[in-house]
Amino acid sequence: MDEHDFQILRIIEENSRLSAEEIATMTTLATAEVRARIRALEEARIIQRYAAAIDWEKAGNGEVAAIIELKVSPERDYGYDRIAERLSRFSQVRTLRLITGTYDLQLVVTGKNMQEVSRFVSEHVAPMDRIRETATHIIMKTYKENGNAFFEQPETERLPFSF
Amino acid sequence: MRDPVSARAKVIPPSGIRRFFDLAMTMEGVISLGVGEPDFSTPWNICESSIYSIEQGATSYTSNRGLQGLRDALSRDLSRRYRLTYNPDTEMIVTTGVSEALDIAIRAVTDPGDEVIVAQPSYVSYAPCVTLAGGVPVPVECREGDRFKLNPDALAEKITKKTKALVINFPNNPTGAVMRREDLEPIADLVTDNDLTLISDEVYSELTYEGQHTATATVGDLWERTITLNGFSKAYAMTGWRIGYLCAPKNICDAALKIHQYVMLCAPAMGQVAALEALRSAEDDKNRMVDEYRLRRNMFVSGLCRIGLSCHVPEGAFYAFPSVKNTGLSDTEFAERLLREQKVAVVPGSVLGEGGQDHLRCAYAVSRKALSEALDRMEIFLSVLK
């Protein structure tokens, strides 16, 4: 990893559809080198995948999401890793983190409707061994995610010319 | 009735592109590469701290020199960044943009009849400010063959007994040229040998894409005869806040301060608070913007060359300055037709002084998408010309 790799990562994190030629022009690297660097970053799983940032609310698929916080008794030798790994296998779990504070694990769970989310929590998550307490927060609106703001910024007026 | 307008106000030229401005305002869908300002909004932490200060009631005058905290922070920042040493209490004034700093600097050193050499092509206000101060602006051309750096021989030719000062601006608007230490050394010798004052507008200093910016006052013995001008507009995307600063040895600074206190009193208080926050917390934001400008520069300059407009690689600021010589059009004709026919606004170089003719100033401080669309339109325009 060097500064060129970081630069390429920043560029494609913002727009992963740029071609190697375009990235090469911007970074003044050779196109072949850009391709080779991206391939190496993919192989090292530093680039995990190429995805779109979608405003699902606007798309109107009717899904709901909730943040679930869990108090967990850690396991000898494994800490939180094994239970986290089990939880992460559920496709309903979109995001899973170990956090500090009152709770230990934080999940973002999605479902077709609220009943589905609450059934998932009460039937699959809460009864798991070592989970001592859960708190469910329904997500009412997402304003910004992964650096991407979901509200329209008004165009600011710029002069056509200035010196 | 007597003519109320003074001879001085009459003699300064009107803006060279008023016509373009009016035309562009009537058109829809114009991509403007004509604006000399960042397309980013001011980083939010800067805005937020200024809003908070207004809520706290910090809405009054500040000291003439500017907020003590801001000057202290600036002094430390200049020393860390450029090894420039200025005493925040006696050698620094916070001004209403670099525009004001330039005006009071020129007025502080110019007597009627003094010649002030202005390195061109340049920002449009240098020569008129000299005229308004009663001086005589003497342009010296920075040539494309010298990569738009100031050539010491060209400068030496312009120096007379009446020459009082020299105004330079590197990284340069409009050419993007940068002067390295070795480029500045022979200039420093000329300035010192001829006992001139150097006014150095370094507002684009942070937008240096290859290597480090060399602060003019750190070259040779220039410090004692240099007025360093800089500001927050370009580096921190803060054009509307109007905060610049002037740094100079105490005797010059005292003179400039007198003018400042009579004409401006102080720079806007909320802008000063914002500027302080910029120094405290916006380094990463600034670096991100500079990285983005660098990418855009590479993309845009290679695009210009691809469509057949030769362009030297600008090492600083956010302007490309391609030549239109081989198109058979003058820069003004080219810019006007490009605006009318393809709705791309650029500044014709000839309004930016000597050496600007046959060139266009294209600000690449617009999104990559807009830049690439502008290149496509320019390519179509060029193909129609042939």
Digit-coded pLDDT (tens) for A75-90? 999 999 999 999 999 9
pLDDT of residue B141: 98
pLDDT of residue B368: 93
Mean pLDDT score, B275-287: 96
The architecture (CATH level 2) of A3-43 comes to Orthogonal Bundle (1.10)
**How do strand B226-231 and strand A131-138 relate by DSSP bridges?**
unpaired
Look at residue A163 and tell me whether its pLDDT is greater than 80.
no
Q: Model confidence over B312-369: pLDDT tens digits? A: 999 999 999 999 999 999 999 999 999 999 999 999 999 999 999 999 999 999 999 9
pLDDT of residue A54: 86
Q: What ranges do the domains of chain A cover?
A: 3-43, 56-141
Nearest to B127 by CA among B63, B195, B199: B199
Indicate yes or no: CB of B39 within 8 angstroms of CB of A158: yes
A119 CA: distance to closest CA in chain B (Å): 41
Q: Model confidence over B119-133: pLDDT tens digits? A: 999 999 999 999 999
CA distance A48 to B305: 36
Mean pLDDT over the full length of chain B: 96
Least confident residue range of B17-21, B47-51, B72-76, B90-94: B17-21
Residue A139: strand, helix, or coil: coil
Mean pLDDT score, B369-380: 97
CA distance B253 to B266: 15
DSSP state of B37: S
pLDDT of residue B246: 98
Look at residue A57 and tell me whether its pLDDT is greater than 90.
no
Look at residue A154 and tell me whether its pLDDT is greater than 90.
no
Look at residue B386 and tell me whether its pLDDT is greater than 80.
no
Mean pLDDT score, B29-51: 94
Q: How confident is the model at residue A62 (pLDDT cuts 50, 70, 90)?
A: confident
Residue B62: strand, helix, or coil: coil
Q: For chain B, which domains are there?
A: 7-42+284-385 (3.90.1150.10), 44-281 (3.40.640.10)
Strands of the sheet containing B197-201, edge to edge, are B92-95, B244-247, B226-231, B197-201, B163-169, B115-120, B136-141
Mean pLDDT score, B189-210: 98
Domain A56-141: assigned CATH number: 3.30.70.920
Look at residue A152 and tell me whether its pLDDT is greater than 80.
no
Look at residue A156 and tell me whether its pLDDT is greater than 80.
no
pLDDT of residue A153: 74
Does the beta carbon of A31 lie under 8 angstroms from any beta carbon of chain B? Answer: no
Residue A97: strand, helix, or coil: strand
Q: Which of B24, B41, B345 sits opposite A156 (nearest CB)?
A: B41
Residue A136: strand, helix, or coil: strand
Look at residue B62 and tell me whether its pLDDT is greater than 80.
yes
Look at residue B15 and tell me whether its pLDDT is greater than 80.
no
CA distance B215 to B206: 11
Look at residue A102 and tell me whether its pLDDT is greater than 80.
yes
Q: Which residues of B touch A3 (CB under 8 A)?
A: none
Indicate yes or no: CB of A163 within 8 angstroms of CB of B345: no
Look at residue B269 and tell me whether its pLDDT is greater than 80.
yes
Indicate yes or no: CB of A161 within 8 angstroms of CB of B125: no
Search chain B and give the residue with CA nearest A153.
B41
Q: Which of A26, A156, A161 sits opposite B17 (nearest CB)?
A: A161
Look at residue B81 and tell me whether its pLDDT is greater than 90.
yes
**How do strand A105-111 and strand A64-72 relate by DSSP bridges?**
antiparallel
Does the beta carbon of A62 lie under 8 angstroms from any beta carbon of chain B? Answer: no
Q: Other CB atoms closer than 10 Å to residue B268's CB: what's the count?
A: 20
Look at residue B17 and tell me whether its pLDDT is greater than 90.
no
ipTM above threshold 0.85? no
pLDDT of residue A53: 86
Give pTM, 2 decimals: 0.89
Mean pLDDT score, A48-70: 91
pLDDT of residue A118: 93
Q: Model confidence over B245-266: pLDDT tens digits? A: 999 999 999 999 999 999 999 9
pLDDT of residue B328: 94
Residue B273 and residue B313 in contact, taking contact as beta carbons nearer than 8 Å: no
The residue to which tokens 């990284």 are assigned:
B171
Q: Which residues of B touch A25 (CB under 8 A)?
A: 298-299, 302-303
Q: Which of B15, B32, B302 sits opposite A25 (nearest CB)?
A: B302
Q: Which residues of B touch A11 (CB under 8 A)?
A: 295
CA distance B200 to B226: 7
Q: How confident is the model at residue B59 (pLDDT cuts 50, 70, 90)?
A: very high
Q: How confident is the model at residue B23 (pLDDT cuts 50, 70, 90)?
A: confident
B224 CA: distance to closest CA in chain A (Å): 30
pLDDT of residue B350: 95
The set of residues, in sequence order, having a beta carbon less than 8 Å from that of B232 and lying 6+ positions away, is B238, B241, B243, B244, B274, B275, B278
Q: Which of A11, A22, A161 sits opposite B35 (nearest CB)?
A: A161
Mean pLDDT score, B207-220: 97
Extended strands (E) in B112-188: 115-120, 136-141, 163-169
pLDDT more than 70, % of chain B: 100
Phi/psi for A95 (5° steps) reads -140, 140
Q: Which residues of A touch B21 (CB under 8 A)?
A: 159-161
pLDDT of residue B333: 96
pLDDT of residue B302: 96
pLDDT more than 70, % of chain A: 100
